[in-house]
Structure 1
Amino acid sequence: MFQRLLFCTDLSDGVYRLVNFIPSLAATGAKQIVFLHSVPFLEGSIPREDTEKINQAREQLEPALKHSSATVEVKVEVVSGRAMDTILRAAKTHQTDLVVLGMPIHGQLKERLFGSTTVGLCQKTPIPLMVLRPQLISTYTSEELELRCQHLFRWLLIPYDGSDSARYLVEQVKRYAANRPEHSLERCNLCWVVEDVNRRGLPADYQVEPAQKALVPVKAELESLGLQVKTEVRQGDSIVEVLNAALMDDVSAIAIASKSLGKLQELSVASFTRELLNRCWHPIIYFPMSR
């Protein structure tokens, strides 16, 4: 599905473990894999590189290079600077298809007030981002992680409600699916959650049938690309039900799209995208919408 991957790690998020699983990542169709670590400048009257930390990071990441071959190009970059800047620069240099990040562990309030590298990147690049929970990667055994890497994009859960962002998300999945290599994306689960709304004279499930009908043509679009597609309509809280759907099905990741993640107008209302990033343990692939 994605052929040029940029793995960004702070060496405490678990992402660095993937240097040992290049063949498994290549099995998804990846042709280029780059590992990036950013080292802050040493503070002082004149900022300077922290050569000790740079050398330590290179030593930790360079085992990935032994897997470079004619079928997959592997690179390691350890650079000085702010993570946001170095990631954007590396993504442009390597023409990255997907940026993979570990998610920091901190409270929601802190993220709202000060932002994060992940939220900042969502605002500054059109490149899809994949967020991996460090608690997930860190607890896998090597055998489990090898299999996980092989199936990184195998089955996507796509929350869908007919909105502009949902349509954009489906179009992006279709675009990448059209050129996907063998053993990459195989299945999609279209999940429409009908929020509980009490209205006089209307049955509790009055919105279910229209949602089911609306999913039929979307399913056909995805099936025309050779994908296996499951559709379901759930009732309840959108976050809770999407998370339940991910647990019930054997999905590899949840795909989402938004054009306002982290922006002021998003912080003033309940944001599905932000809440899902905060609460979901599954990998999430985020497709930024054009501003």
Structure 2
Amino acid sequence: MTPQDMNARIVRYGELQPCKTAFIDAHTPGSNQKENFTIIGGGVSESPDQHVHITIPHGFNIGAAGQPPKCRNSMHNHRTAEVFFILSGRWRFFWGEKGDAGEVILEEGDIFNIPTNIFRGFENIGTDYGMIMAILGGDDAGGGVIWAPHVIEDAKDHGLILGENGKLYDSKKGESLPEGVNPMPLLTKEELAKVDCPTTSDVIGGYVRRYLDMVALANDGAVKVIGETGIIRDKPGFEVDFLTRANATEEKHAHDKPSVLMPVKGHWRVDWEGGSAILAPGDTMSVPENLAHSAVPSMTGEAAMYQVIATDDPAGQTWQG
């Protein structure tokens, strides 16, 4: 594959195109400074303004959220897996319908495989603009977002209405629901009762892994973070591996499904037959199936990278041991 072909499959951090109207809380004070990015796949944006960098189906989606300090993402649910790792900043993740059932603080490089069927939100509690990278299960990312009822009601007070078709309508722009389209119905008490509300210990122990712990594990070889044999045992339709200088190899390998390389620390050289490229933190590289390639740090110093590989498992969290 030529360097030109591969360059079309690399999204540089500095070239990411944000959308500030991606979701229903885009006008809600405290959430109105969010920037949403769809890097690979269709994403879950409710806005036609969302730019998609790479539209090639991978079996999963790659996205990101950028937020200034004290900006939060409102309580929502997904039907398939949602995995975040912290690229920059300090972040608080919380869950429960009102966001008061539990919380965890994550630092750069930490990863969180958020369980399905729980309301979750997050906020940047650092002192600078922060970025979290996201992996979402399935090519259609589970058919969109399920919002907690109060989020929909708050948004309406600030001019945004979500239609039952999953699209946003902004009264501040003179928009209204089209004829025949009703507002998105609020979840009933019976439906809310079916949403899980796990304890803090269950979530942190089962679904959170710390960057420094994974760095230590990498000294002993490959680290499968999420997978049937991973340190987070789950089968959400993709696997996640953790690479450092200690376990990276120049020996080329290939996968029978698309994969994605996402550096979190240091610069990485990716080689394949026909070319090479340097990736920096925040860059995202899509590697085609069956393309032999290798990835190793290109400079001295700290280096770490996440690798995402599609699997044949159904999109969504299926089990955890």
What is the TM-score with the length of structure 2 in the denominator? 0.26
TM-score norm. by structure 1 comes to 0.28
Q: Which has the higher helix share?
A: 1
Structure with the largest fraction of strand: 2
